[in-house]
Amino acid sequence: MSDTIVVNNEPFDLYISAVRIQDRVKELAAQIDRDYAGKVPIFIGVLNGSFIFIGDLVREVTVDCEIDFMKLSSYGDAKISSGQVKMVKELNCQVAGRDIIVVEDIVDTGLSVEYIRKHILAENPASLRFVSLLLKKDIAKTTAPIEYVGFEIPPEFVIGYGLDNAQKLRNLKAIYRQRPRA
């Protein structure tokens, strides 16, 4: 895949290569293995964006674990958050008394994470932590830290490795960022 792709006449430049992503995923998994030794966490992937990341992450993790998914909606097909989060698919697992690790593709405003935090804490987990491949640090307003972050990035629109452009291009192996307009 070339270093620049053009989507609807807009150039996107290669930002984080597939190799860098895979290296970082292995590091995050090693950290999680250390922190959860002897426990059986439930990884909860937030659809759709985290589907590739959680797939790669759980295959690097060696602790016994379970996997479930939830789906929120806040963006629709827009690039800017609508500011309103709603649950589109509920969890299927029992959260009470369990160690929960929520897996996000990217934390932007932090609204989704805060919504999920409240929702899961209401069910009394033994513990709750978040892992996000990407964090837009200058924008994110979360009340508690994201415990595991792959890469901190500036407030730019990125696609690939699960992240979409109007539902397309999630299947890119690397992450690309929209080139700022001159």
Applying CB under 6 A, the residues found at the interface with ligand 5GP are 49, 74-75, 81, 104-112, 157-159, 163-164
Cα–Cα distances in Å, from 6 out to 21, 32, 76, 119, 181? 22, 36, 22, 39, 13
Among residues 23, 64, 99, 108, which one is catalytic?
108
Cβ closer to ligand 5GP: 44 or 109? 109
Cβ closer to ligand 5GP: 70 or 158? 158
Cβ closer to ligand 5GP: 29 or 109? 109
Minimum CB distance to ligand 5GP, residue 21 (Å): 15
Q: Which ranges in 8-146 belong to alpha helices (H)?
A: 18-35, 51-60, 111-121
Asked whether 44 and 91 are in contact (CB, 8 A), the reply is yes
Asked whether 61 and 32 are in contact (CB, 8 A), the reply is yes
Minimum CB distance to ligand 5GP, residue 166 (Å): 9
C-alpha span between 40 and 100 (Å, rounded): 9
Q: Give catalytic status of residue 105 as yes or no.
A: no
Minimum CB distance to ligand 5GP, residue 141 (Å): 9
Query: Which residue type is seen at 65?
Result: C
Catalytic residues: 108
